[in-house]
């Protein structure tokens, strides 16, 4: 597998926000979201080749039970099931961070952390925008992920105008546990996060969804390795 980085930090997002966790960032993502904060992990070759056993050894250098496999888009990696199985065999709690664009069955992960992409993430250039639009929302894949894994759904909001699109997406999906949905402000910097958070908090109260923290932005201003 090509690994972009392995580091120890706090989980910044989701219902496990604040929990000390080791992050394994795999390379490659076809979506090219406009506001992506890990563009350095987009190219397939943006890292170094590791065996699954080497990754598990690296992870074990920290006395930490929680592991987050992220990207890029980890679900497009064919060796992911093997990595998850070995991490589970080592006694780890495994979260997979995904945009929900690919489904793989029978992985013993503990939490599928799904962040479906809205139209606010469409890239500016026409070629990338076309690729993004074709791939960003696959309702059948999302359904499989929700039906077969413990999950959370994290939506990134740019403005109040995004809320109807989220409700429509949930309606189209059908049978979603609204207690597992959270809204997060789109923010590349701490200042942007602090400015947008009260607006998103109001939307959470209005819609009955949880507010999603982004501790890596709040605490470390989105520095790499956090």
- On whether the CB atoms of residues 214 and 47 are closer than 8 A, the answer is no
Q: Which of 17, 73, 137, 145 binds ligand SF4 (CB under 6 A)?
A: 73
- On whether the CB atoms of residues 69 and 83 are closer than 8 A, the answer is yes
Which of the ranges 30-38, 44-52, 102-110, 179-187 carries the binding residues for ligand SF4, by CB under 6 A? 30-38
d(CA 199, CA 2): 38
State which residue, 7 or 62, has the beta carbon closest to ligand SF4. 7
Q: Which of 2, 13, 16, 32 binds ligand SF4 (CB under 6 A)?
A: 32
DSSP 131-144: HHHHHS--HHHHHH
Count the neighbouring beta carbons within 10 Å of the beta carbon of residue 131.
14
Which of the ranges 11-19, 57-65, 68-76, 210-218 carries the binding residues for ligand SF4, by CB under 6 A? 68-76
Q: Which of 7, 10, 15, 36 binds ligand SF4 (CB under 6 A)?
A: 36
129 binds ligand SF4 (CB under 6 A): no
Which of the ranges 28-36, 55-63, 184-192, 197-205 carries the binding residues for ligand SF4, by CB under 6 A? 28-36
31 binds ligand SF4 (CB under 6 A): yes
- On whether the CB atoms of residues 169 and 137 are closer than 8 A, the answer is yes
d(CA 52, CA 132): 30
13 binds ligand SF4 (CB under 6 A): no
201, 203, 209, 212: CA torsion to nearest 10:
-40
Supply the minimum distance, in Å, between the C-beta of residue 185 and ligand SF4: 14
72 binds ligand SF4 (CB under 6 A): yes
d(CA 70, CA 67): 10
29 binds ligand SF4 (CB under 6 A): yes
Which residues are paired to 132 by β-bridges? none
State which residue, 175 or 223, has the beta carbon closest to ligand SF4. 223
Report the SS3 class of residue 4: strand
Supply the minimum distance, in Å, between the C-beta of residue 163 and ligand SF4: 20
- On whether the CB atoms of residues 67 and 97 are closer than 8 A, the answer is no
Which of the ranges 45-53, 71-79, 157-165, 186-194 carries the binding residues for ligand SF4, by CB under 6 A? 71-79
- On whether the CB atoms of residues 74 and 98 are closer than 8 A, the answer is yes
Binding site for ligand SF4 (CB under 6 A): 29, 31-33, 36, 38, 71-73, 99
């Amino acid at each position: 597998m090509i690994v972009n980085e392995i580091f120890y930090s706090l989980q910044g997002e989701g219902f496990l926000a604040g929990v000390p966790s080791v992050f394994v960032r795999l390379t490659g993502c076809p979506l090219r979201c406009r506001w992506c904060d890990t563009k350095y992990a987009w190219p397939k070759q943006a890292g170094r080749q590791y065996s699954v056993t080497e990754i598990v050894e690296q992870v074990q250098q920290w006395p930490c039970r929680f592991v987050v496999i992220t990207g890029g888009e980890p679900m497009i990696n064919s060796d992911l099931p093997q990595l998850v199985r070995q991490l589970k065999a080592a006694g780890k709690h495994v979260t997979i961070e995904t945009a929900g664009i690919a489904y793989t069955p029978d992985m013993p992960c503990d939490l599928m952390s799904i962040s479906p992409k809205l139209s606010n993430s469409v890239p500016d250039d026409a070629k990338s925008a076309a690729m993004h639009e074709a791939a960003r929302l696959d309702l059948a894949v999302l359904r499989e992920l929700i039906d077969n894994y413990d999950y959370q759904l994290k939506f990134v909001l740019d403005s109040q105008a995004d809320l109807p699109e989220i409700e429509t997406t949930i309606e189209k999906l059908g049978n979603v546990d609204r207690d597992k949905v959270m809204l997060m402000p789109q923010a590349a910097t701490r200042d942007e996060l602090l400015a947008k958070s009260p607006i998103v908090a109001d939307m959470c109260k209005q819609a009955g969804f949880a507010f999603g923290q982004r501790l890596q932005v709040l605490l470390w201003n989105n520095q790499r390795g956090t």
